[in-house]
């Protein structure tokens, strides 16, 4: 039996979509014909069977053996293809599309495969188009299974008009759409082993739970969503990433024709080397450049979380949080033979000394930090924070040097005027902030001095610590 199953998997691995399964291989085909599931027939180890209970919307799930965790499932190919069709129907509904699939998705259930590597999606290209193999361990975590099926569906959708180069699905789209679909009252046919489960009452945590999470934890920035660091998109931090991605996708779908724009972005993915270009083309009625998306996302986070007085920072914490948001981290180079030192500089130094493109990126990050900080700021500092936001927004509107702007020494007159005006505004706000300091900080902090407390004469930074790609 193992030999026949292995031979069948090898045939599919070499792109033979017409490979005939052996008699000891269970096969199932979905209603639309897109999904074909295969699993080795196992005697003495029946799989959970979903049976009508006689009550509308309710099923009896008859388990035969419990797994190590209630959230892990043993996969039945007949139920698996139904599950895939349900997810596809929900995805099509969210994007406002009809079912026009082109590529088959072969689901290979491996009962003996270790669960650690997780599902594996592979694409097989031929002149007739793309087909896919999704290898699934059994038992498997329900969330892993759901994400794997959504990834297969998104990849198949994007590659319908692609050539030999497959589209790459950005992580925020996969995580956000998966969370959106799971929270969208999707009837779950493959469930942790229970009995008499009412599928009409199956709901994963709604957006209110996500709202509460993002009130307790600072939402990720747009940059962190687009280019997540490994530690922020894995382990316990992945929950926060998924929550932010879900809100990001939900907000995009709430735009006028947002579902059509999101679908157009998926279609355009194979046409460009990076998804950002596809995104801007698809959402051109709303965003002309990525900086517009960053500002929109910052406002969306504020509107979504609202003002929760119970979670506001105290006066002292608010003071230091505001200081941290205004300081710009950099690396200071003292000499060629020494490693650079970490330091912080003011927004005024960024505006007056950095190249326009670099300065714009750093100021946008500061603007976003301030915007995300606002809901938790103590009321006494809100007017000052809003004044900083207004100063940065005014400079952004007044400068806009464009991609052809040269070095700082060759600035156009209009940009030089905007810089001087912005520095004057920020100097005045810093003086106002210094006058308020005794109300919030009784003693100087024992930590490293911020950019605003740095003694005169300290060398200026040469390069940003984390230049944007």
Instruction: Please list the pLDDT of the chain residue by residue as tens digits (469 residues).
Output: 444 544 555 455 444 545 555 567 889 999 999 999 998 876 433 333 333 333 333 323 233 333 344 467 788 899 899 989 999 999 999 999 999 999 999 999 988 766 566 788 999 888 888 999 999 988 888 888 899 999 999 999 999 988 888 898 999 999 999 999 988 644 444 443 333 333 343 344 467 888 888 877 888 888 889 888 777 777 778 889 999 999 999 999 999 999 999 999 999 999 988 899 999 999 999 998 888 898 899 888 888 887 444 456 888 888 888 999 999 888 776 667 777 777 888 999 999 999 888 888 888 888 888 887 887 788 889 889 989 999 998 898 887 654 444 444 455 668 888 899 999 999 999 999 999 888 888 654 444 445 545 444 444 444 444 443 3
Going from the C-alpha of 276 to that of each of 256, 383, 401, the distances in angstroms are: 20, 35, 22
| Distance separating alpha carbons of residues 350 and 362, to the nearest angstrom | 8
From the list 95, 96, 106, the residue with the least C-alpha distance to 130 is: 106
In three-state secondary structure terms, 262 is helix
Q: What is the pTM of this model?
A: 0.63
The pLDDT assigned to 11 comes to: 52
Within 10 Å of residue 254's Cβ, how many Cβ atoms?
10
The strand pair at 341-345 and 25-29 is best described as unpaired
Within 10 Å of residue 463's Cβ, how many Cβ atoms?
13
| Distance separating alpha carbons of residues 197 and 435, to the nearest angstrom | 63
Helices in 31-71 by DSSP H: which ranges?
A: none
Backbone angles phi, psi at 40, to 5 degrees: -70, 140
CB 24 within 8 A of CB 1: yes
Residues facing 463 on adjacent strands: 331
The strand pair at 105-110 and 129-137 is best described as parallel
CB 395 within 8 A of CB 363: yes
| Distance separating alpha carbons of residues 7 and 9, to the nearest angstrom | 5
- Residue keyed to tokens 């006058």: 435
For the CA atoms of 264, 269, 273, 274, the dihedral, rounded to the nearest 10 degrees, stands at 70
- Listed in sequence order, the residues at least 6 apart from 100 whose beta carbon sits closer than 8 Å to its beta carbon are 160
Beta-carbon-side half-sphere exposure of residue 355 (alpha carbons within 13 Å) = 12
CB 132 within 8 A of CB 237: no
The pLDDT assigned to 256 comes to: 93
């Amino acid at each position: 039996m193992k030999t026949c199953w292995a031979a069948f998997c090898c045939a599919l691995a070499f792109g033979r979509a017409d490979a005939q399964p052996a008699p000891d291989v269970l096969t199932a085909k979905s209603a639309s014909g897109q999904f074909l599931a295969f699993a080795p027939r196992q005697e003495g180890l029946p799989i959970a069977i979903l049976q009508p209970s006689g009550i509308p919307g309710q099923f009896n799930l008859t388990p035969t053996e419990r797994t190590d965790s209630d959230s892990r499932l043993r996969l039945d190919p007949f139920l698996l293809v139904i599950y895939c069709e349900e997810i596809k129907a929900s995805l099509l509904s969210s994007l406002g599309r009809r079912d026009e699939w082109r590529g088959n998705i072969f689901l290979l259930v491996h009962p003996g495969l270790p669960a650690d590597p997780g599902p594996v999606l592979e694409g097989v290209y031929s002149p007739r188009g793309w087909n896919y193999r999704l290898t699934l361990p059994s038992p498997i975590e329900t969330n892993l299974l759901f994400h794997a099926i959504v990834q297969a569906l998104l990849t198949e959708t994007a590659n319908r008009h692609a050539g030999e180069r497959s589209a790459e699905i950005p992580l925020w789209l996969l995580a956000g759409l998966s969370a959106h679909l799971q929270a969208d009252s999707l009837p779950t046919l493959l469930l942790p082993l229970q009995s008499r489960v009412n599928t009409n009452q199956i709901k994963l945590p709604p957006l209110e739970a996500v709202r509460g999470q993002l009130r307790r934890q600072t939402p990720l920035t747009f940059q962190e969503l687009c280019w997540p660091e490994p530690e922020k998109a894995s382990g316990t931090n992945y929950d926060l990433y998924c929550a932010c991605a879900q809100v990001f996708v939900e907000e995009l779908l709430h735009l006028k024709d947002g579902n059509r724009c999101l679908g157009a972005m998926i279609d355009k993915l194979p046409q460009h080397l990076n998804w950002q270009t596809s995104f801007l083309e698809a959402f051109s009625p709303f965003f002309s450049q990525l900086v517009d998306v960053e500002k929109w996302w910052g406002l969306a986070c504020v509107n979504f979380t609202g003002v929760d007085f119970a979670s506001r920072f105290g006066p002292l914490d608010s003071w230091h949080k505001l200081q941290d948001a205004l300081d710009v981290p950099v690396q200071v180079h003292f000499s060629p033979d020494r490693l650079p030192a970490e330091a912080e500089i003011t927004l005024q130094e960024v505006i007056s000394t950095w190249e326009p493109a670099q300065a714009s990126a750093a100021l946008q990050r500061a603007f976003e930090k301030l915007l995300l900080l606002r809901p938790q700021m103590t009321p006494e500092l809100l007017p000052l924070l809003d004044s900083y936001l207004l100063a940065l927004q005014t400079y952004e509107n007044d400068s806009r040097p464009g991609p052809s702007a040269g070095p700082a020494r060759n600035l156009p007159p209009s940009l030089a005027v905007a810089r001087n005006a912005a520095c004057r505004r920020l100097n005045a706000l810093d003086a106002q902030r210094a006058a308020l300091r005794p109300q919030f900080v009784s003693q100087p902090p024992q930590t490293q001095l911020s950019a605003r407390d740095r003694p005169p004469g300290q060398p200026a930074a040469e390069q940003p610590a984390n230049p944007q790609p």
